[in-house]
Amino acid sequence: MKDTKKGRAEQSEMGLSLEDLIRRGARDLIQKAIEVEVQELLDDYENVKTLRGQRSVVRNGYLPAREVLTSVGNIEVRVPKVRDRSGMGVKFNSALVPPFVRRSPRMSAALPWLYLKGISTGDMREALAVLVGEQAKGLSANVVSRLKAEWAAEYAVWMKRDLSSRRYVYWWADGIHTGLRQEDDAKACLLVIIGVTPDGRKELVTIGDGLRESKESWLDVLRDLAAQGLPSGPLLAVGDGALGFWAALDEVFPETRRQRCWVHKTANVLNTLPKSLQAKAKAGLHEIWMAPTRAQAITAFDHFLKTYGAKYPKAVDKLVKDRDALLAFYDFPAEHWLHLRTTNPIESTFATVRHRTTRTKNCVSRSTFLGLAFKLVQEAEKSWRRIRGVERINELLAGTVFKNGVSVTDDDDQQQRLAA
């Protein structure tokens, strides 16, 4: 019964429109900020007692839910109430959603985590103003600090979760250079892994930090996963040319095969060629990774080497050194190739973050930095879809061998039918 309910919930989630996701993300974040506001008020009166020794100011349920009109539709909010037993007349009025406010004049039709991107600039009140208007600027610095601390604590708990029962089919790994500086003035780099579970869902596996994409930094990330009980690595990991990740993977999860990202590789190769040749060279590279079989890919590969090898040895060297890792996807189901040839799940999640954070010079603490990034990915994760060809995953995990994207069993059956 539980599985049935979970399945319906997941189907409902996948059916949500972008506007639905925007509204839900904005609602959840605004509600959380209001809860922090009321908690700050209660803390201010924590030591004020009645004659009986009871706390004078306590929570007292919620006001009736009301909808705030935004440019993406109505968002329902519930403002908490407090009870003042002392007769001082203490009331709670949210600075974020003041009494009687039912219209947000500046709600931006952006992704749910626009708010979180804004927070990374170090001015949360300005970011909240984008969501609900100038009223947000009435938020105190204490509320801002509480929210940051809460997210950092959530991240710390999440990083200690038990992974002993988890299994991943694929990983995408990448280092995200955000441009933000930590307190020691070092530029922070996010080390992110997104995985595919046996039911085809994408989920955040881990997110850590490092001063650069070194082997030592990635070793810390992968060893943490092992310490959390993760029994094994994925069947295949997809990443760019950062040698640190691959060296660390070989040490911690040596059974995992590697697939180089074709988007990164294409950019690396084209950077070594004159602009006048780049369009033609890009088409040649496209013929390699879009070939229907490994044999045809190798033919296109060799043709590229022959075409550019004499005059542009650096370009072909970048291909030759990673030949096997670039073509590893041919040993996996063809339905999955679309997902395995690039690190797009990570790139698309963080593309706008790079754009936003490179404009700030504010310093952040390590815990704040990781807490913000964690919440950012959590919001993005709600809109991730399953990979194609989910039914093929069980075959992979059962040990079925694939050749040119087709299981060897299916290939044999087809040959027998043709022979008959």
Residue ranges of domains in the chain, CATH in brackets: 18-157 (no CATH), 166-260+363-383 (3.30.420), 262-341+385-414 (no CATH)
What whole-number distance in Å separates Cα of residue 163 and Cα of residue 155? 15
- State how far the Cα of 317 lies from the Cα of 321, in Å rounded to an integer: 6
Task: State both tokens at 125.
Answer: 């009140």
pLDDT for position 21: 65
| pLDDT for the residue numbered 339 | 94
Low-confidence ranges of the chain (pLDDT < 50): 2, 8-15, 71, 103-122, 130-132, 135-136, 352-353, 355-361, 416-420
Residues with Cβ < 8 Å from 166, sequence gap 6 or more? Answer: 197, 230, 231
| Distance between CA atoms of residues 389 and 406, nearest Å | 12
Residue 270 confidence (pLDDT): 94
Q: How far apart are CA 64 and CA 43, in angstroms?
A: 24
What's the confidence (pLDDT) of residue 110? 31
Q: What share of residues in the chain are helix, strand, coil (percent, to 5)?
A: 50, 15, 35
pLDDT of 250 reads: 95
Other Cβ atoms less than 10 A from the Cβ of 253: the count is: 18
pLDDT value at residue 375 = 76
Closest to 357 in 3D by CA, of 215, 179, 197: 179
pLDDT of residue 206: 96
For residue 256, what pLDDT is reported? 97
For residues 131, 133, 135, 137, the Cα torsion angle rounded to the nearest 10 degrees is 70
pLDDT at position 184 is: 55
Tell me which DSSP letter residue 388 carries. Answer: S
pLDDT of the residue at 127: 52
pLDDT of residue 181: 58
* pLDDT at residue 411, as a whole number: 56
